[in-house]
Structure 1
Amino acid sequence: MATAPAINIGITDENRARIADGLSRLLADSYTLFLKTHNFHWNVTGPMFNTLHTMFMAQYTELFTAVDEVAERIRALGFHAPGSYSQFGKLASVKEETEVPRAQDMIRQLVEGHETVARTARTIFPLVEEAGDEPTADLLTQRMQVHEKTAWMLRSMLE
């Protein structure tokens, strides 16, 4: 059986591993937020039902695409992406919700979740810049923009 050639994309093996570790944390946070947002979409009630139900659907749909992009970047760096609840549970900073909170609390939790994902992405950025990993830098920039904007929009609903 032939083996694949070594990865030689101009980033050291050590830096690729460190970046992939950071992206694995980002993937876990993003997937946990996806699951939480989908849960809230299913279970929201109250006077803002239609608005929140629709908004949460747009958000979990965007997150569904994002987790695929993050996982594929991990693979492009030569590592396996985590893909189980137990792996995500060990890696994620976003807290899972097992109850059904009131709509306003759902919004607050999602603000916190989006801010957490943005912070996770930001922690990886210095290593990515040092390693000259422009594709990952671009991915992180896009993710931070989405999460910071979404947190702002959700936060605005709480005023």
Structure 2
Amino acid sequence: MKTNIGISKEHREKTVGILSKLLADEFLIYTRTLRAHWNLEGHDFHTKHLFFEEHYNAIKLFTDSVAERIRKLGHYAPATMAEFLELTHLSEKYEGDNTSLEYIEVLLKDHDSVIKYIRENISKVEDEYKDVGTGDFLTGLMQEHEEMAWMLRSTIAKK
């Protein structure tokens, strides 16, 4: 059945374009956080192993919520690695070691990148594309990433 939610087809398509890139970014952060959880080594293994597990479980929910938002707008979510790698702003490459400090620094940059991307698109979605619901959704998701970035940043803070 045709989607008729008070937002033009063109505006929904543009919003879905933004969400599709965000979905790819979420999936990459999820995968990179799993890598940290699985491959971590060091004196702080146990606490950081649990820390990364908490984060990847939260990001998994973020990923699902972005995909479901795309579906609510009447489109199909990208769902292959090829699509994600084509759409993402992030890199899947990791050149650090397996210490918590290295993983945290890389993940922090990823979260900061997603926060900036979301922030740059909230007004566009709300004002240009007339989708206040997605704008609200993006605001909430940005706040979740801000909290994760704060946790990561505080973990490696230097005096």
Per the normalisation by structure 1, the TM-score is 0.91
Q: Is the 8 A contact 1:40 1:106 kept in 2?
A: yes
What is residue 101 of structure 2 aligned with on the other side? 104
Q: Which amino acid aligns with 1:121?
A: I
Structure 2, gaps ≥5 residues long:
none
* Map of 2:55 onto structure 1: 59
Post-superposition Cα deviations, 1:11-68, rounded to whole Å, max 9, x if no partner, equal 1111100000000000000000000001100111111211211110011001111111
The answer on 1:73 being equivalent to 2:40 is no
Q: Any conservation in 2 of the 1:29–1:94 contact (CA below 8 Å)?
A: yes
Listed as ranges, the matches of 1:19-98 within 5 Å are: 19-98=15-94
**Greater mean deviation of Cα atoms: 95-104 or 47-56:** 95-104
CA apart distance, 1:148: 1.0
Distance 1:8 1:116 in 2: 33
What is the aligned partner in structure 1 of residue 122 from structure 2? Answer: 125
Q: Aligned partner of 2:13: which letter? A: A
Q: What is the distance in 2 between the residues matched to 1:78 and 1:94? A: 26
Structure 1: distance between partners of 2:87 and 2:32? 16
1:154 aligns with 2:138: no
Task: Determine the C-alpha separation between the residues in 2 that align with 1:18 and 1:132.
Answer: 11
Query: How many percent identity over aligned positions?
Result: 38
SS at match of 1:45: coil
Residue pair 2:123, 2:135 contacting (<8 A) in 1 also: no
Gaps of 5+ in 1: none
